[in-house]
């Protein structure tokens, strides 16, 4: 599959690097190009005063042509790209999954399956622990 690591987090909507038990995960979601003009990458709209992205915005828009798309519709079309070392079997590999959090061991997480042992691995929000731990 050979995934390409992002050179900067500015290319991404989501980026994380985690270490747990005996495993590691690096995951990211690339920003998509504008479907209207194809020149720029879609992103959250910028605040006119601070020139920073509006974090709680419910749309994504093109900085060049101004085309906007609802947040939910845009995020459903994205995929999470993952480079991992399995905490169960030690296998190092790559995977992709949809950009949608699912329930995994009682916590919302991006879930993917190890190619070697077939066990599910979840990428949870920071500081979240599985039910029954901590």
pLDDT tens, residue by residue, 46-87: 888 998 888 888 999 888 888 888 988 888 889 999 999 999
Residues 6+ apart with CB under 8 A from 49: none
- Count of CB atoms situated within 10 Å of the CB of 104: 17
Q: What pTM does this model have?
A: 0.84
The backbone region for 44, taken as left when phi is positive above 0, alpha when psi lies in -120 to 50, beta otherwise, is beta
Q: What is the pLDDT of residue 132?
A: 63
Q: What are the domain boundaries of the chain?
A: 1-31+78-134, 33-75
């Amino acid at each position: 599959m050979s995934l390409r690591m992002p050179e900067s987090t500015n290319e991404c909507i989501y980026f994380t690097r985690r270490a747990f038990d005996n495993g590691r995960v690096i995951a990211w979601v690339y920003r998509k190009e504008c479907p209207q003009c194809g020149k720029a990458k879609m992103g959250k709209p910028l605040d006119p005063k601070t020139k920073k992205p509006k974090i709680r915005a419910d749309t994504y828009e093109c900085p060049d042509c101004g085309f906007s798309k609802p947040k939910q519709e845009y995020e459903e079309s994205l995929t999470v790209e993952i480079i991992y070392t399995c905490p169960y079997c030690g296998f190092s590999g790559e995977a992709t999954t949809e950009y949608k959090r699912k329930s995994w061991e009682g916590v919302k997480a991006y879930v993917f399956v190890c190619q070697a042992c077939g066990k599910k691995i979840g990428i949870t929000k920071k500081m979240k622990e599985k039910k029954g731990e901590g």
